[in-house]
Chains A and B, each alone.
Chain A
Amino acid sequence: MAGFKGTREAFAQALLDIAEENDKIMFVSPDSLKAMRATKFAEVHPDQYVEVGISEQNAVDTAAGLAAAGLTPFVGTYAGFLTMRACEQMRTFVAYPDLNVKFVGINSGILGGEREGVTHQFYEDLGILSNIPNYTIFTPADAAQTYHAVKLAAEINGPVYVRAGSGRETDVYDIETPFSEEGIRILKKYGNDMLLLSSGFVLDRVLKAAEILNEKGINVTVGDVNILYGNNPQKILEAIAKVNTIMTVEDHNVNGGMGAYISKLVVENDPKYVKRMGLTTFGESGPAKELADAYGFSPENIVKTVEENLK
């Protein structure tokens, strides 16, 4: 299997591969076919491509109807147009009846939204969905992980949300590594001076920061938290148990996302210091990597924040 250009291409390939074996897979598009890189799916499976026009609430409702009739629809478009504009439909007509609808939200985070500006950057999606029962929330770290996350989403019965980007993601994983069902994968173990937990498309920056810290004699462990509010956080708790200090780094508002999830786990199970890095304001337009740097996600700033918070 070759690599992918980005998370959207990975989604589209996964959808094609799933549909090879499963004729109940549908793709509902609120004019997002191109944005989701799914034009080939529409060519190969025209009867499984449902275009509803620019109408996200309608797209989610339509998907609910498809699922109620026994099909497995994916709805893919910009993360906030799903989780904010169609939030009520995602809650009341998908999650409440526990229907088998899958969502892929692109342009998530400031890195994913980059030049578009605040209207097309979404750093609230995880906080919103974490308040709605029945959602399984996947936060893959790169395109390869997105491919496996989408395939796993199709195998799960019930609503799943997969957080995706816009092609600015840096590859961290090799193509063969499956999407962990344990909710965490430890990627680096320099030592236990601090546990650095990250998720999504800033993971490469956290890994770089860990490398710099190691050179400075500060030895941290880096974990990729890839499922939020999952049913079995045992592996995350095991990682937490090994350190005295934890820092979370996420391209999402600090409230309601991965840092909030880890804080909850820590407070309830093994109280210790948790520093959360993430967004606290709206973003702005700019080239993706410069923008991420400007909003605090440079490896250097992550290093500095670790140093300031060592206990």
Chain B
Amino acid sequence: MNAAELKKIANDLRLTAVEMVYKGKDGHPGPALSIADIVSVLYFDEMRVDSSNPDWEDRDRFILSKGHACPIYYAALSKKEYFGEEVEDFQLRALGSNFQGHPVMNKIKGVDMTSGSLGNGISIGSGMAIAGKYLGKDYNVFVIAGDGELQEGVCWEGINSAAGHHLDNLIVFVDKNGWQSGGSIEETIGANNIKDRFEAFGWDAQEIDGHNIEEIQKAISNAKNAKGKPSVIVCDCIKGKGVPYMENNNAWHKGVPTQEQYEEARKVLGGAL
């Protein structure tokens, strides 16, 4: 799929995610919007998946390690028709809804792993990647982690052992948007040289613009060609990307737009009013 089409899909996903949070009156729009372009490329260009056969053994796997960004994930699965037709009202976080505050694998078709508590996606993805090699499958495992999330120690346990196992079927995206729940990463604990640190652990590492579709596509292609080691693609992203009043405003880490704000988001993201 070409970059313009994938960009359009990314914005459609953003719109669905904002609407999901607006209607559900809860959720994390900022962290969802920052990864929309990566998710668009993965689900609509890169990943070998079949929504009519979500448990297909040969499918590529995806783990949203920063599970709170799930509105964009749910939007992608819906657009990909994992739920039959596209979902009108997700009832995000509502009692009885399958669309929980963080993704749950045995509630939602297409979710390969439950996630939400930070730090675990890389280790779990390593397990899936080791299984792929053991079973003789050629699938890839894609993980999206947050830059704040990398403060969790278990991430580095997984990064260490993934390199030790030469998991070249594991590709991790880091959503480097510079923010975490409580504030900026710089102020919280200091800037942290993500790419250098992965390289020091023996990973193939790239750093790209996380909102440039062609760069994302090229980085994935490079990562797949890096043999004998896992790959990280550090993505410079803007938290809240696509909705101007949310961009780089950490108040939207978690927050619900007013009706006026929702309509403004619809307008800029190309939705019908």
Which residues on the B side are within 8 Å of A48 (C-beta)? Answer: 134
In this complex, what residue of B is CB-closest to A47? B134
A22 at the B interface (CB under 8 A): no
For B158, what are the chain A residues with a Cβ–Cβ distance below 8 Å?
55, 58, 61-62
Q: Which of B57, B114, B124 contacts A96, CB < 8 Å? A: B114
**Is B29 interfacial (CB 8 A cutoff)?**
no
| Chain A at the B interface: SS class | helix
Please report the C-alpha to C-alpha distance between residue A96 and residue B106 in the assembled complex, in whole angstroms: 9
Q: Are B117 and A64 in contact (CB under 8 A)?
A: no
Contacts of A89 in B (CB 8 A): 120, 154
Q: Is A88 an interface residue (CB 8 A)?
A: yes
Q: Most A CB atoms within 10 A — which of B116, B124, B127, B158?
A: B127
Identify which of B128, B129, B153, B161 contacts A52 (C-beta below 8 A): B161
Q: Is B164's beta carbon under 8 Å from chain A?
A: yes
Contact residues, A66-105 vs B (CB, 8 A): 66-71, 73, 88-89, 92-93, 96-98
Check B157 against A66 for contact (C-beta < 8 Å): no
Nearest CB of A to B78, in Å: 21
Which of B104, B116, B117, B128 has its CB near the most chain A CB atoms (within 10 A)?
A: B128
A52 to B129, CA, bound (A): 13
Please state if B114 and A93 are interface contacts (CB–CB under 8 Å): yes
Closest to A52 in B: B161
Asked if residues A62 and B127 are in contact (CB atoms below 8 Å), the reply is yes
Query: With an 8 A cutoff between CB atoms, is B105 at the interface?
Result: yes
> Is B116's CB under 8 angstroms from A92's CB?
yes
Closest chain A CB from B265 CB (angstroms) = 32
Instruction: Tell me, in angstroms, the Cα distance from A73 to B132 when the chains sit together.
Output: 14
Residue B112, interface by CB 8 Å: yes
Chain B 113-154 near chain A by CB (<8 Å), digits 1 or 0: 110110010011111111110110000000000000000011
Question: B161-203, CB under 8 A of A: which get 1 and which 0?
Answer: 1001100000000000000000000000000000000000000
A68 touches B112 (CB 8 A): yes
Number of A residues, CB within 8 Å of B: 29
Is the pair A61, B130 in contact by a Cβ cutoff of 8 Å? no
- A50 within 8 A of partner (CB): yes
B160 at interface (Cβ–Cβ under 8 A)? yes
Contact, CB under 8 Å: A65 / B164: no
Contact of B161 among A62, A64, A97 (CB under 8 A): A62
Residues of A within 8 Å of B114, CB to CB, are 92-93, 96-97
Q: Is the CB of B113 within 8 A of A64?
A: yes
Asked if B131 and A53 sit within 8 Å, CB to CB, the answer is no
Chain B: minimal CB distance from A68 (Å)? 6
- Give the residues in chain B near A88, CB-CB below 8 Å: 117
Closest to B128 in A: A65
Assembly CA distance A58 to B126 (angstroms): 9
A262 to chain B, nearest CB (A): 32
A280–B181 Cα gap in the complex (Å)? 40
Q: Does A57 have its Cβ within 8 Å of any Cβ on chain B?
A: yes
Contact of B130 among A53, A55, A66 (CB under 8 A): A66
Is A69 a contact partner of B132 (Cβ separation < 8 A)? yes
User: Contact at B157–A58, with CB atoms within 8 Å?
Assistant: yes
Cβ 8 A contact of B127, one of A51, A55, A68, A96: A68
A19 to chain B, nearest CB (A): 13
Q: Which residues of A contact B116 (CB under 8 A)?
A: 92
Does A249 touch B at the CB level, under 8 Å?
no
State whether the Cβ of A111 lies closer than 8 Å to any Cβ in chain B: no
Residues of B within 8 A of A55 (CB): 154, 157-158, 160-161
B161 adjacent to A70 (CB under 8 Å):
no
Q: In the bound complex, how far is the Cα of B57 from the Cα of A85, in angstroms? A: 32
Q: Is the CB of B106 within 8 A of A69?
A: no
Interface centre among B61, B117, B134 (most CB of A within 10 A): B134
Whether, in the assembled complex, A63 has its beta carbon less than 8 Å from a beta carbon of chain B, the answer is yes
A47: chain B residues within 8 A (beta carbon): 134
Q: List 19 A-B contacts (CB under 8 A).
A: A55-B154, A55-B157, A55-B161, A58-B157, A58-B161, A61-B123, A62-B126, A62-B127, A64-B113, A65-B128, A66-B127, A68-B113, A68-B128, A70-B135, A71-B134, A89-B120, A89-B154, A92-B120, A93-B120
What 17 new A-B contacts, CB under 8 Å, besides A58-B161, A66-B127, A68-B105? A51-B161, A51-B164, A52-B126, A52-B161, A58-B154, A61-B127, A62-B127, A62-B130, A63-B127, A65-B113, A65-B124, A65-B126, A69-B135, A70-B57, A70-B131, A96-B104, A97-B104
Give the B-binding residues of A (Cβ under 8 A): 26, 47-48, 50-53, 55, 57-58, 61-71, 73, 88-89, 92-93, 96-98
The 5 closest A-B pairs by CB, nearest first: A65-B127, A61-B123, A69-B131, A58-B157, A55-B157
